[in-house]
Amino acid sequence: MAFVSIYLNFMGNAEEAFIHYKKVFGTEFSTPLMRLKDAPPGEGMPPISEAEKNKVMHAALPILGGTLLMATDMLESLGHKLVEGNNFTISLNADTREEADRLYKGLSEGAKDPVAPHDEFWGYWGTCKDRFGIRWMFNVMNQPQP
């Protein structure tokens, strides 16, 4: 079933923030924390330090009314710089690739930094900052194999 989530970016303290949010909302992570060391190395990506390998690649925590709060740690070593305006993304988790493509097509008209949906190790993913300055993410998760 399709859903919308809010995706937050942190500069190395995503785990601390989400442990706090767990207490505030009285909920548990919907999936285990994924760490950067859990991801296969990306082609052309620079190596990351041992300390950075333990940073959060992905966290997901249900909060109110079915809303899912998600997060990642940004890394200065990869050129990331957190500023107000890039510390959140609206994540559209579509049921199908076709739906993700349709949403991407509409929201990426006149967009900055568009990355068309494509295959990643966790599923089908893309992103863009629309012409109004809002960052959108498009996801279709891989289905578990029986």
**DSSP 8-state secondary structure symbol assigned to residue 108:** T
Asked, for residue 46, whether it belongs to a domain, the answer is: no
Asked, for residue 44, whether it belongs to a domain, the answer is: no
Domains held by the chain: number: 1
pLDDT digits (tens, 9 = 90+) for 97-139: 999 999 999 989 888 889 999 999 889 999 998 886 778 899 9
* Helices (H), ranges, the chain: 14-25, 50-53, 97-107
pTM: 0.68
Whether the Cβ atoms of residue 60 and residue 31 lie closer than 8 Å to each other: yes
- Domain extent, residue 123, equals 3-39+52-141
Q: What are phi and psi of 60, to 5 degrees?
A: -140, 125
Asked, for residue 16, whether it belongs to a domain, the answer is: yes
CATH number at residue 127: 3.10.180.10
The whole-number pLDDT of residue 145 equals 62
How many angstroms from the chain centroid is the CA of residue 6? 9
* Placement of tokens 């579509």 in the chain: 94
